[in-house]
Amino acid sequence: MSDIVDPKVRSRIMASIRGRDTQPELQVRRALHARGFRFSSSSAQRMPGRPDVVLQRWKVAVFVHGCFWHWHGCSGSRLPRTNRVFWEDKLSRNVERDELAAMTLVTAGWRVVIVWECALRSSRARSSFEAAMDRLAIWIRADPSEVFFEL
Ligand SMILES: [Zn+2]
């Protein structure tokens, strides 16, 4: 991991290896907890894609995705100028893995939530973040025939 990584990408990598309890994940966990949801992180480890939050009671798996690594397509997911082929290949494999995990979960009767990091950032205003989490909470408790929610 020496020459192929430009400084911008390196800082993203450093951010990603801080571990599973990154700030955005904590933010979402705290918000769901405040809305009465309870979850266990141990079961998440054995599930496809290792969801960030698993709501066993509601059969809901929540993923908090970093825009770069999961290639969101927003301004936070632009490819580095150098080694584009390398990054395109790597990131498209991540996207495929995400899709497979989501499909496997839905097939097994789970509902899947994707929260994008940019959505958390752009709702920096406390009130709009809370409003978004309210919408998510309503969706979780609502009609289980809707299997996919993206924020
Ligand atoms: Zn994004």
Q: What is the pLDDT of residues 13-68, one digit of tens each?
A: 655 554 555 688 999 999 999 999 998 777 788 899 999 999 999 999 999 999 99
Buried b (16+ CB within 10 A) or exposed e, 62-94: bbbbbbbbbbbeeeebeebeebeeebeeebeee
Full residue range of the structural domain in which residue 21 is found: 7-150
The CATH number linked to 106 is 3.40.960.10
Using the mean position of ligand 1's atoms as its centre, give its distance from the Cα of residue 66 in Å.
7
Asked if pLDDT for residue 123 goes beyond 70, the answer is no
Distance 12 CA to ligand 1 centre (A): 14
Q: Give the distance (Å) from ligand 1 centre to CA of residue 151.
A: 10
Q: Do the domain assignments include residue 94?
A: yes
Cα 137 from Cα 139, distance rounded (Å): 5
Distance of CA 123 from the midpoint of ligand 1 (Å): 12
pLDDT at 1 over 50: no
The answer to the question of residue 144 being in a domain is yes
Query: Residues 56, 45, 138, CA angle at the centre, nearest 5°?
Result: 35
Residue 19 lies in a domain: yes
Q: Residue 25 domain-assigned? A: yes
The answer as to whether 2 is a domain residue is no
Ligand 1 (ion): which residues have CB within 5 A? 67, 72, 74, 76, 116, 118
Number of domains in the chain: 1
Check: CB of residue 49 under 8 Å from CB of residue 98.
yes
Work out the average pLDDT over 86-92.
95
